[in-house]
Structure 1
Amino acid sequence: MKAEVFDIRGVRTYVERRGEKHLPTIVLLHGFTGSTKTWHEVAHTLSKQYYVIAVDLIGHGKTESPLAPDRYRMDEQIADLHHLFQVLQLKKPLLLGYSMGGRVALGYAATYPERIKGLLLESSSPGLRTEHERNVRCQADTKLADRIENDGIEKFVDFWQEIPLFRSQKRLSTERQLAVRNERLKQNPIGLANSLRGIGTGSQPSFWDELERLKFPVLLLTGSEDEKFENIAREMKRLFPNVLHESIKDAGHAIHVEKPRQFATMIERYLKTL
């Protein structure tokens, strides 16, 4: 693995690279409270056949956490990715994004559809359809951001790991659960709070109307126990022209954490069909 820090539009951005440059490229984008570390097991497997790039998104992991919430907006993060791909000289990579990272990946794909080879979305969505839904979610995200800043990272993580979305992770080994918790505890509270304000699901634009025009191959991955995102994926499947939806049995929201080997195998199997 090669770990590097790049100046991307004024933000020090942490990147990990695995595999050989001549191989097909796949870029991994983590979810909220995550980092490149969440991908280590999957990235190790994929790097045998792919050139794997994992990025700490703004406000997360070892990437900087600017004080201005506007710097975290979707259009800013799309511009960051575009600049990073130019710096790394990536040509038509595959994008794999989980949850928040999936929303960023979809945002990039909708903005630069000619510059990617395919899109793989794990437990993700195109955002909220109506302005009312976005306003309600914005208010909730703002309250949560304030809570992180006021109560501190440990109390927030205590709360976050107990939300219903992550209930299935209770079946993981104690060691695995502790690793997930420690990854969250190492986050910068300013980065997490501003991420919610700048690119929370309520703050980002809706990409639902963009899906029909995106012709590249798309894989949607969801866990069978994550009913909300199973339903979102079914709706997305009706709109993407070139799409496959795979549901992983006995998995929840974070499939790559709960079943990393099965997740990597499904990715590899799908990519061989392209």
Structure 2
Amino acid sequence: MKENIIFIHGLTGTKDAFKKPMEYFNRQFNTYSYNLLGHGEDRGKAVDFTLTNLVSQLEDFYEQEGLKEAHLCSLSYGCYPSTIFAKKWNNKVKSLCFIGGHYNSPSQLFDVFKHYWEIRHEDYPTWLRKYSHDIYPKESLLDPYSIISNKIYYKYGLELNDNILKSAIQHRLKYDLRSDLSLLKVPILWVMGDHDSMYKSTLTDLNTVIPHVIYKEIKHAGHAANMFRPSCFRDMYEEFLTSLIVKAKG
């Protein structure tokens, strides 16, 4: 019987963010994805974008698909609902994979979050343009990774209800994800793009928080490393999953 993988996209994205890896892994696994609240078909609609509701959404997805357990693979902010879910329902999560994951650690990234939370009442397009620039800073004029991420985040962020990105900042400032991560016992693969310096700034104590974590970097990639270098991500994730299956078989 095939094991299950649920792919969870990040902010401003859709379930199609994992279309290619889903097609690849579907040969050995049952693969699933869904749109976070306020994304996909609900893009632009006002929703109650809370962590409680995001976790409930994942619970409902398990029930809807008749899943008893699954591997969770999450991009960026998706690490929040998936971690909280794994803490609450550890028997339903076989492993976690975070791409561009981050948590509440003193860092350059969290300084940016604090600033944009304080000025959240600015005109939304203006606020979003500056925010996109600062979370994906152009390290040099020739850095294509931040430039691409910046443009994509701003373009699709404009289509969201302005409550969503601001609520997500509040979650990351107020919710102690670091403590949740420290309690997890399931296998964890943490993947970062080597150019993702802003988000990597939160991970200085990652091995202390999660001693059993497997940390990997993808060269020549930005924040959504799976999209910059899909074959590299696929190979890393496949190796991780294969090792778990072999270990389970004894």
TM-score (norm 1): 0.73
Give the residue type in structure 1 aligned to 2:78: G
SS in 2 for 1:273: helix
Give the residue type in structure 2 aligned to 1:165: Y
Listed one character per residue, the Cα deviations across residues 83-133 of structure 1 (whole Å, up to 9, x for unaligned) are 221111112111111111122211221222222111111111233579xx9
Which of 91, 94, 115 is 2:68 aligned to?
A: 91
CA-CA distance at 1:255 after TM superposition: 0.2
SS in 2 for 1:72: coil
Partner of 1:137: 113
Listed one character per residue, the Cα deviations across residues 21-42 of structure 1 (whole Å, up to 9, x for unaligned) are x421111111111111222222
CA-CA distance at 1:49 after TM superposition: 1.8
- Whether contact under 8 Å (1:138, 1:197) holds in the other structure is no
CA-CA distance at 1:146 after TM superposition: 4.8
| 1:74 counterpart = 2:51 | yes
Give the Cα–Cα distance (whole angstroms) in 2 for the partners of residues 119 and 77 of structure 1.
Answer: 17
Which of 152, 173, 194 is 2:163 aligned to?
A: 194
Partner of 1:6: none
TM-score (norm 2): 0.79
Partner of 1:36: 15
- Whether contact under 8 Å (1:27, 1:94) holds in the other structure is yes
Provide the aligned length of Structure 1 versus Structure 2: 238
Output aligned runs, 1:150-229, within 5 Å: 151=125, 156=128, 162-163=133-134, 165=136, 167=138, 171=144, 181=152, 184-185=155-156, 188-190=159-161, 193-200=162-169, 201-202=171-172, 204-229=174-199
CA-CA distance at 1:167 after TM superposition: 4.6
- Whether contact under 8 Å (2:71, 2:95) holds in the other structure is yes
CA-CA distance at 1:207 after TM superposition: 1.7
Gaps spanning 5+ residues in structure 2: where? 245-250
Partner of 1:17: none
Partner of 2:32: 53
Give the Cα–Cα distance (whole angstroms) in 2 for the partners of residues 34 and 225 of structure 1.
Answer: 20
Give the residue type in structure 1 aligned to 2:165: L
